[in-house]
Structure 1
């Protein structure tokens, strides 16, 4: 297979996914890009007879920056307090029952996801009770209807905070945002697209103003399970972080070494051909496709992060963390990938070589 220089440049252009290089069947294999980078670096070191950068002596995969503690991000939300007179007056609608559920010991210990389900049920019932009381002309319930209207207004505000507590404090989201299980690979693709859809689903349930029915509890828990299983954002961000660091280090190591490789009058030496083969077999075949996955999922999730960054109920510390990964982290990865490819293009051009398969 012949891969010409324009195609190589195109495959590294941000947002462009080169068909020749991408196997979009995968992200989550045990044989991740970590192993490909290590093999690539070791072979370059051997061919050039030069030591690897000191950072390769330890694990090349570094933890993501720590996410702020969930307690520091949590909104404190006061429950509705109903006196006995109001409680008995509300027996003809479901509000009293829903409020009573929240005030039990079980209700007070609910997970963030079930708190959101409860708040969605409460908002729905408040609307129904308010409408029912307003339709009872001359019943003397006008004051109670006004009270319920004030509760509904407050709970509409509280609903966004409850949603934020789910995003910022649930175990599923914290693992998905900060604790990857592995790096991207091109050999299997477990849960990636499902994770994208699940994350967008969680964004759509933050809609108190248009809430017609309570959130389906089973559906919410299922989507959270997908988010936890895939951990897509953390996997994406740790992969781009690893690529940014290792490619920058290798580019710095290779720059003087490739320049010193002999290619008299543009004729490739045996060493130059071996280096081209290493570049093709490990970078083009194994590492660059993972870069394509980073680009793909970065852009798929960009609309989601834009919504979250503009959501008033989310804490500024969470927004800062997301900005660091999606903007600064992605820019560093992009620059590292471009610089590495540019270095090889210059070397291959000087030696009149094309990045093609050996043999």
Structure 2
């Protein structure tokens, strides 16, 4: 059912966008080109081309090796101890051997948690050889637990689709799946925090609602908020830089106003500013900015739970997934440049709104 709800939500967003298959690009082009026309510039914005974004690392570059238990140690678990017989049997079944990463993640957590509880509760007169064997099993599984957590999250198809480069920009209305994607990342963060807990606490419990992780994976897979946000921010960066260039070029050529006295041409420019920037672009940009910072923070927290991150993922994170990354900083630079260009233009004509910023 959660999967169906996600699909319906995405379908409704597409329907609400109407016949225009690229509503965001249309809005951005309309804004920038209206500015250019009002300043007698022929520099028209065209966002039709493909985006040049770094691709998400391939699965074989993200996966981490996990140590398997030797058969002799597994035989210990097939006894009556630890109530792990059914869990191990499910994992070794034909279906268990092709578990998706999300289910493997749940298995690894449940296995280690129940094994630890079993070891902690064994009476002192228990056979020492059995205790040694259980300790060895726990040591091996604990040693590879971080890799198992990593693979369960970052090799999943849901995470790949969440960073697919082929998705459209976020819609003009609504949150574009941000709320459900945030909940999914928060759930994965709670799971990933086990990495530190397992290695630093003798007694610990598996998270509540562990079996309810699948809807969160489905939300990431279906809504693909990350992919859509990355596209939106890239489009905004291009639009802001292009529009700033148009304004800067006009300011270099000749003043729009003299002695801070607004001309009829300046009033047309101000009307474009009010209608297309303040009325259309700015609300969309504010939403993408605000939600994007929260989304980046959740991704940074998620990755911070791991002591070892594959090199390709480190590179991708540095390029794309922090507010210090070049991707975000290019947007900030474009936003500031765009703001300064408008401030200079409107100040020249004494048309700055309430003496404030246009950002």
Alignment-derived partner of residue 224 in structure 1: 217
Structure 1 position 61, deviation (Å):
5.8
Structure 1 position 77, deviation (Å):
1.8
Superposed counterparts of 1:198-217, under 5 Å: 198-206=184-192, 207-208=194-195, 209=198, 211-213=204-206, 216=209
Question: In the superposition, relative to structure 1, how do residues 243 and 147 fare at CA in structure 2: closer, same or farther (>3 Å)?
Answer: same
Moved more, 298-307 or 160-169: 298-307
Superposed counterparts of 1:47-126, under 5 Å: 47-52=38-43, 56-57=45-46, 59=48, 62=51, 64-83=53-72, 86-87=75-76, 90-126=79-115
Provide TM-score, normalisation by structure 2. 0.81
Match of 2:128 among 132, 136, 142: 142
Q: Distance in 2 between matches of 1:34 and 1:58?
A: 6
Question: In the superposition, relative to structure 1, how do residues 211 and 221 fare at CA in structure 2: closer, same or farther (>3 Å)?
Answer: farther
Contact 1:279 1:355 in 2 (8 A): no
Moved more, 112-121 or 232-241: 232-241
Alignment-derived partner of residue 331 in structure 2: 333
Moved more, 173-182 or 119-128: 173-182
Superposed counterparts of 1:155-234, under 5 Å: 155-179=141-165, 181-206=167-192, 207-208=194-195, 209=198, 211-213=204-206, 216=209, 218-234=211-227
Aligned CA-pair RMSD: 2.7
1:265 match: secondary structure: coil
Question: In the superposition, relative to structure 1, how do residues 271 and 344 fare at CA in structure 2: closer, same or farther (>3 Å)?
Answer: same
Q: Distance in 1 between matches of 2:260 and 2:101?
A: 65
Q: Distance in 1 between matches of 2:106 and 2:87?
A: 11
2:41 match: secondary structure: coil
Alignment-derived partner of residue 312 in structure 1: 307
> Gaps (5+ residues) in structure 2?
1-12, 355-359
Contact 1:95 1:129 in 2 (8 A): no
- Does the alignment pair 1:252 with 2:250? no
Q: Distance in 2 between matches of 1:299 and 1:165?
A: 25
- Does the alignment pair 1:274 with 2:268? yes
Provide TM-score, normalisation by structure 1. 0.81
- Does the alignment pair 1:41 with 2:41? no
- Does the alignment pair 1:287 with 2:289? no
Structure 1 position 190, deviation (Å):
4.0
> Gaps (5+ residues) in structure 1?
1-26
2:242 match: secondary structure: helix
How many residue pairs were aligned? 325
Structure 1 position 314, deviation (Å):
3.0
Alignment-derived partner of residue 23 in structure 1: none
